[in-house]
Amino acid sequence: MIDFSFTEEQELFRSAIREWCQKNLPLEKIREMDSKGEIPREILKGMGDMGLLVMTAPQEHGGTGADWVTACIAAEELGYADVSIALPVLWLVESSWGFVVDRYCSERVREECIRKAFKGDAFIGIASTESGGGSDVAAFKSTARRDGNGWVLNGEKIYISGTEEAKKLGGGYFVIARTSPAPEGASHRGMTGFYVPMNAEGVEINKRFEDMGRMAISTGGFMMQNVKVPDDYRIGEVDKGFYLTMEGFDNARILIAAVCVGAARRALDIGMEYIKERKAFGRPIGKFEGIQFELADDWAQLEALKSLTYRTAWMNDMKYKQGKFSALEVGRYIAACKLIAPHLAFDIYKHAMIWMGAYGYTKECPLEMGLRGIMSYCVGAEGASNIQRTVIGRELLGKEYIPYK
Ligand SMILES: Cc1cc2nc3c(=O)[nH]c(=O)nc-3n(C[C@H](O)[C@H](O)[C@H](O)COP(=O)(O)OP(=O)(O)OC[C@H]3O[C@@H](n4cnc5c(N)ncnc54)[C@H](O)[C@@H]3O)c2cc1C
């Protein structure tokens, strides 16, 4: 027998976070964050007090030890509340990459960064992308060479979320760098993960992008010039960083899907309210099939995505807790979530904006923030759509069908 219900604890958690969001993140606040380009410190502190930050890290390390289904509940509610998706982005980057860092790091990194990130006093993010391209992780040029008991890193990372937050709050990034020459035909090997604090000597923010959306979290780039880090800052085994990077991406992608579910639910709610009120030709426009059928199609597809997302989160929990599924088995479902979610959410925002006519195109309407924010996941943040397709294709057809080999 299959039971699709959430536990009582999960339902209580959803009510608590929903209540917190209603109180702390009204639409006026989201507009203010979007205009000012920052997430207020008290919001982060409040999330820390609620145990929401890096909530996936285990209790024995100071986290909440939330499983991935529970994390998706938080993601969905945050996505619903912050239509600009800036706050959900910051939250999910920390919840997915903070989890990986915490899982494989030394006690020193935990002390210097993760324990602070739980309280909103530090930021932990991912810095993998380089100017040569983000999809081809194995082609990255950043290097780390051994230096006595530590390492020296050189290279440049670009299109990185949260560079200004990391500078302001403290904390740093999971950075992937080449530590050994790649064996023939296996360029993904020979890379290692490191924790690189943003205040380390030799780290310099050299890019600040003005994005089209999710304005309250920064996107930038930084140089690493002879950055010395102790071996304690190494994350996981030497030359195995690629696998940790894939683990982080997988976890992030599930949360992205859940954020998109929440964000799209909000667009439908705002849209439905409008089409019940707005009259044309003597009746509410929600009576016209042209609008009502689009709403029904959107809702049906969103429910399908929601089921896939929570099922995939459950599979991820079974992978970690019971070894019931392998990373590759879960990976294709995760790729499907990341492939579908941003594009569906984007379409739902677009539809709801069009129902609203001219009003939908103004900044008086909150939906334009969602359209701009979700686009970041359509273009490729945490992995481009075609890369999700290659993951699914590889699992369906076999490794010999990997297009880039
Ligand atoms: C707002 C935002 C925030 C970001 N934050 C971070 C961050 O915090 N940390 C970080 O490391 N990165 C971050 N990124 C970068 C993101 O990870 C990359 O954009 C992504 O990996 C794609 O890399 P790229 O942009 O260089 O595109 P490319 O890899 O150059 O790809 C360009 C296009 O080619 C397609 N393509 C590539 N390979 C194939 C293939 N084999 N088959 C078919 N099509 C292919 C892609 O689908 C894409 O459409 C962020 C990006 C954005 C937009």
Residue nearest to atom 23 of ligand 1 (CA): 134
143 pLDDT higher than 70: yes
Identify the pLDDT of residue 1: 65
Q: From CA 93, how far away is CA 263, in angstroms rounded? A: 17
Identify the pLDDT of residue 185: 77
User: Averaged over 230-236, what is the pLDDT?
Assistant: 98
User: Averaged over 109-135, what is the pLDDT?
Assistant: 96
Give me the helix-helix angle, 241-277 and 68-81, nearest 10°.
40
Q: Token pair for residue 26?
A: 């009204």
> Left if phi > 0, otherwise alpha if psi is -120 to 50, otherwise beta: which for 176?
beta
Cβ 126 under 6 angstroms from ligand 1: yes
Cβ 175 under 6 angstroms from ligand 1: no
At 64, the amino acid letter reads: T
Cβ 128 under 6 angstroms from ligand 1: yes
Residue nearest to atom 7 of ligand 1 (CA): 160
Cβ 388 under 6 angstroms from ligand 1: no
At 261, the amino acid letter reads: V
* Distance of CA 134 from the midpoint of ligand 1 (Å): 4
* Distance of CA 283 from the midpoint of ligand 1 (Å): 46
Residue 129: closest CA among 140, 145, 143, 114? 140
Residue 137: closest CA among 226, 222, 52, 246? 246
Tell if the pTM clears 0.75, that is, is over it: yes
Q: What are phi and psi of 19, to 5 degrees?
A: -65, -45
404 pLDDT band (50/70/90 cuts)? confident
392 pLDDT higher than 70: yes
2 pLDDT band (50/70/90 cuts)? confident
Q: Give the chain's domains with CATH numbers.
A: 8-123 (1.10.540.10), 124-239 (2.40.110.10), 242-401 (1.20.140.10)
405 pLDDT higher than 80: no
Q: From CA 339, how far away is CA 256, in angstroms rounded? A: 10
Residue 120: closest CA among 85, 170, 72, 74? 170
Cβ 161 under 6 angstroms from ligand 1: yes
Residue nearest to atom 36 of ligand 1 (CA): 386
Identify the pLDDT of residue 187: 82
User: Averaged over 323-350, what is the pLDDT?
Assistant: 97
Residue nearest to atom 22 of ligand 1 (CA): 134
269's CB contacts (< 8 A; 6+ apart) are: none
Lowest mean pLDDT among 58-62, 66-70, 158-162: 58-62
Is the sign of the CA dihedral 346, 303, 263, 135 positive or negative? negative
212 pLDDT higher than 90: yes
Residue 84: closest CA among 302, 382, 380, 371? 371
Identify the pLDDT of residue 183: 81
Q: From CA 133, how far away is CA 98, in angstroms rounded? A: 24
204's CB contacts (< 8 A; 6+ apart) are: 222, 223, 225
262's CB contacts (< 8 A; 6+ apart) are: 75, 76, 77, 78, 79, 80, 81, 88
* Distance of CA 344 from the midpoint of ligand 1 (Å): 19
Q: What is the residue-averaged pLDDT of the chain? A: 96
CA 82 from centre of chain: 14
**Residues 362-387: tens digit of each pLDDT:** 999 999 999 999 999 999 999 999 99
DSSP collapsed to 3 states, 343-387: HHHHHHHHHHHHHCHHHHCCCCCCHHHHHHHHHHHHHCCCCCHHH
Residue 146: is it exposed, middle or buried by C-beta count within 10 angstroms (0-12/13-18/19+)?
Answer: exposed
